[in-house]
Amino acid sequence: MSNVLDEDIKKKSFHTLYLLYGEEDFLRQSYKKQLCQAMTGGDDMNFNTFHGKDISVNEIISLADTLPFFAERRVLLIEDSGFFKKSPEELVKYLPDMPDTTSIVFSETEVDKRSALYKKVKDLGLISEMAKQETGDLAVWAAKYLAHSGKKVTRQTMDEFLMRTGNDMLNIRSELEKLISYVGEKDVVESKDVAAVTTMQVESRIFDLVDALVSGKMSQAMKLYEDLTALKEPPMRILFLITRQFNQLLLVKDMQAGRADRAAIAKAVKVPPFAVRKLEAQAGTFSRKQVLSCVQSAVELEEAVKTGRLSDRMAVELMITRKYKN
């Protein structure tokens, strides 16, 4: 649906109602800014913003009924209102009669598609979901971002970069800016540049921690764990992510046994295709029975924490120091 939004902005042909929602905050903020700028032309006199849960519906309706001052339209931006979880009845009833000279842009992180307001905006305007982007799309976007600064990157280096940054576009942009500054006059971004300057996200650190465990590198695993605790990561979240990693390895082994291809495994495990290769390498060091034993150990340790038999930190340390090979 963002393609339709792009067309509206490009042609300056606007709906009276827009809803931008979704967990990809970078995209939502970007489109919100572009859309409001295109509709107002930078005219603040006919632009009103509302933010938060304590918004007055009566004030919205009053402003929406007010003709724009020496302009074609009045624009109201309503952010994080919660209206799409608990719909204000008076606003739902009002929208069909709202003047054509007013446009309302709603920007929300979460919505309930069953809500009356969602259905009304869908009938009368345009709804665009800003979901987390697929790895392939992120790679293309990041490569274009680098190209604007005259930088090139190979697909392998881009894969390594995204493996470290995760899929949050705001974080990716920040890391790209660091890379651009770091490489200076160099035309090509190399793997060593990525390793030198990008900040590894928690999920990537967990991947490396499990990699160290399955490789028998206990001191490296403990160092990675200490790095995570220094970053104030809660021990139970670390245990959860370790457990998830072993569950992924179990799923990879089962799908390999069923002769599934890499694309199918990536979709089932919910990781980028390039990450499947690394999971396959980890899974290859274990039998299915051994991986299942790791999963069961993690579940038992989590239960021990919940029942007060172990501290959360002790549970993680026991998970790290357990015997991984018979």
Tell me: do 125 and 171 sit in the same domain.
no
Average pLDDT of every residue of the chain:
90
Question: What contacts 244, CB < 8 A, 6 or more positions away?
Answer: none
Instruction: Tell me what pLDDT residue 324 has.
Output: 65
Q: Is the pLDDT of residue 271 over 70?
A: yes
326 within some domain? no
* pLDDT at residue 106, as a whole number: 97
How much is the pLDDT for 96? 96
| pLDDT tens, position by position, 20-51 | 999 899 999 999 999 999 999 888 899 999 99
Q: Is 157 helix (H, G, I), strand (E, B) or coil?
A: helix
CATH number at residue 65: 3.40.50.300
* pLDDT level of residue 143 (50, 70, 90 thresholds): very high
Domain that holds residue 170: 135-197
- Do residues 113 and 221 both lie within one domain? no
Which of 129, 145, 164 is the C-terminal boundary of a domain?
129
pLDDT(73) > 90: yes
Rounded mean pLDDT, 283-299: 88
Same-domain status, 300 and 271? yes
**Averaged over 260-281, what is the pLDDT?**
85
- Mean pLDDT is highest, among 265-269, 271-275, 320-324, for 265-269
CATH number reported for the structural domain that contains residue 301 in this entry: 1.20.272.10
Q: Output 60 or 213, whichever has higher pLDDT.
A: 60
| pLDDT 10s digits, 186-227 | 999 999 999 898 888 888 888 888 888 878 888 888 898 888
pLDDT at 92 over 90: yes
Q: Are residues 107 and 8 in the same domain?
A: yes
Last residue of a domain, one of 129, 164, 185: 129
Res. 326: pLDDT tops 70: no
Sheet containing 47-51: give its strands across.
47-51, 74-79, 102-108, 17-21, 126-129
Measured distance CA(94)–CA(289) in Å, rounded: 62
Average pLDDT for 142-156 = 94
Predicted pLDDT of residue 201 = 82
**pLDDT(261) > 80:** yes
Domain check: are 103 and 33 in the same one?
A: yes
**Within this chain, do residues 240 and 185 fall inside the same structural domain, yes or no?**
no
Residue 65 predicted with pLDDT over 80: yes
Residues 193 and 206 placed together within one structural domain of the fold: no
246 part of a folded domain: yes
Query: Has residue 7 been placed in a domain?
Result: yes
Domain boundary (177, 197, 217) is at: 197
Q: What's 147's domain CATH number?
A: 1.10.8.60
Structure tokens at 82: 């919660």
The total number of structural domains in the chain stands at 3
Which ranges in the chain belong to alpha helices (H)? 2-11, 25-40, 57-64, 89-94, 116-124, 135-148, 155-165, 169-183, 191-197, 202-214, 218-230, 235-257, 262-269, 273-283, 288-306, 312-321
> pLDDT tier at 90 (50, 70, 90 boundaries)?
very high
pLDDT the model gives residue 2: 63
Burial class (CB in 10 A: 0-12, 13-18, 19+), 56: exposed
Do both 216 and 188 map to the same domain?
A: no
Domain for residue 296, yes or no?
A: yes
Task: Report pLDDT for 133.
Answer: 87
pLDDT score of 95:
96
- pLDDT recorded at residue 325: 57
